[in-house]
Amino acid sequence: MDVRSFIDNSILKPDRSEKEVAEFVKKSRDIGFYAVCVNPCHVRLAREIAGDEMVVCSVVGFPLGLSTKEVKVHEAVRAVEEGAKEIDMVMNISAFKSGRFGYVEEEIKSVVRETGAVVKVIIETCYLTDEEKKRAVEICVEAGAHFVKTSTGFGPKGATLEDVKLLKEAGKGRIKVKAAGGIRDLKTALAMIEAGADRIGTSSGFDIYRESLGG
């Protein structure tokens, strides 16, 4: 298994300079990761460096998910215009917790419709019960999302094997699963893939790749 094909190598912390982002993207491209995930303001820079050799992904409504639907759609469309091929959007967790499932679905559906990009919906599993996780998967499926993603990595807890298995089972082959948050070594990444993750979001891609080479 080539672990590189599963990795969205992410640089999302707010204190990273443009020089650091550029170096991160270049190294990710040279190693051959599937994608690099950056904040919206760095999409154009990342695309210039990645060229056609690597997918550029941007986050939307990150990390809280509490922007309005209109703001999320605008942010997503702008990211695609600047070169993003994939969008990792944070679900409106407050609306979901309030039972406003129609709003949550329409928000996701709008981003999918207006961008035409691969859309991964971050449901932030650490805040949800198992039943809520299953309901969130159904909403993502109905909205036409391509992936359900466990976590932002900025919450109190990241991906767990149990959650990946639950999301995969709930999806019933209708949607892919991205595991993210706290995946820092090869053993954990491989365990997530074994549990059903189709993609791995991590800021430790370089370390994971180095481990895969036996280094």
Query: What is the spatial distance between Cα 168 and Cα 119, in angstroms, rounded to a whole number?
Result: 17
Side-chain-side CA neighbours of residue 28 (13 Å): 32
Active-site residue, from 8, 72, 88, 120:
88
Question: Which residues lie across from 59 on neighbouring strands?
Answer: 88
> One-letter amino acid identity for 143?
A
**Residue 85 annotated among the catalytic residues of the structure:** no
Active-site residue, from 149, 163, 168, 198:
149
How is residue 123 written in tokens?
């449901």
How far from 209 is each of 21, 158, 204, CA to CA, in Å?
Answer: 19, 20, 9
**Residue 15 annotated among the catalytic residues of the structure:** no
Active-site residue, from 69, 168, 178, 198:
178
Q: Please check whether residue 34 is in contact with residue 4, taking contact to mean a CB–CB distance below 8 angstroms.
A: yes
**Residue 172 annotated among the catalytic residues of the structure:** no
Catalytic (active-site) positions:
88, 149, 178
